[in-house]
Amino acid sequence: MLDPAAREPGDELTARAVAVRDGACDGAELWAEARARLCRIALALGVPPDDVPDIVQDVLLAAHRTLPRFDPERGRFEGWLAAILVGRARNHRRGVRRRLRLLAAFGRRSSGPAPRDPAHEATEARLTLARLTAALTDVQREVVALYEIGDLTADEVARSCGMTAAGVRSIARDARRRLAALAAEEDGR
């Protein structure tokens, strides 16, 4: 496990964001790099892969709109983006649950996402991702996505999720054990 204190501060992206904010350079590179990182975090948050590009684009639009208000003194650019993404992912999750409740109220089973190419759907990576993220609670998923996959510091994750840094570490430890047990169980089959 990486020691949070030893993590790179990641000031490069923040510095670039400040430059874009001040109009010193074009933001194409910044958004491209941010998009790649956000996609990974969104997947780890349990967002369905087909919805990830839309949610990430939504986050980038929100970040682009509010970039003039970004203050590097209050945290890194990555943490700022991650906080927006966590909010969007929560909304998405709530929307999905609401839709399922509505369908259940009308006595219909959820049709789920639209039918897609079976070969595409059945990729092992997607199944593994869905299985592992489903094994975690909502809070664990957020902490794992930001702390383990997104490589944010415990303080940044704590700010994004509204908890303490110690709580983040504790939840991350539980989630690691849970995932390790699941992996061992799958390997044992």
Measured from the CB atom, is 98 or 177 closer to other proteins?
A: 177
Smallest distance, Å, CB 54 to other proteins? 10
CB 126 within 8 A of CB 49: yes
**Which amino acid is residue 117, in one-letter code?**
D
Measured from the CB atom, is 43 or 152 closer to other proteins?
A: 43
Residue with tokens 């061992």: 184
In angstroms, rounded to a whole number, what is the distance separating the alpha carbons of residues 132 and 43?
Answer: 11
Phi, psi of 65 (to 5 degrees): -70, -35
Tell me which residues touch other proteins (CB under 8 A): 1, 27-28, 31-32, 35-36, 39-40, 43-44, 49, 52-53, 57, 60-61, 63-65, 123, 125-126, 128-129, 132-133, 144, 148-149, 176-184
Measured from the CB atom, is 23 or 107 closer to other proteins?
A: 23
Smallest distance, Å, CB 107 to other proteins? 33
In angstroms, rounded to a whole number, what is the distance separating the alpha carbons of residues 164 and 78?
Answer: 19
Measured from the CB atom, is 11 or 54 closer to other proteins?
A: 54
Smallest distance, Å, CB 28 to other proteins? 5
Smallest distance, Å, CB 162 to other proteins? 23
- Provide DSSP, 22-40: TTSS-SHHHHHHHHHHHHH
CB 147 within 8 A of CB 82: no
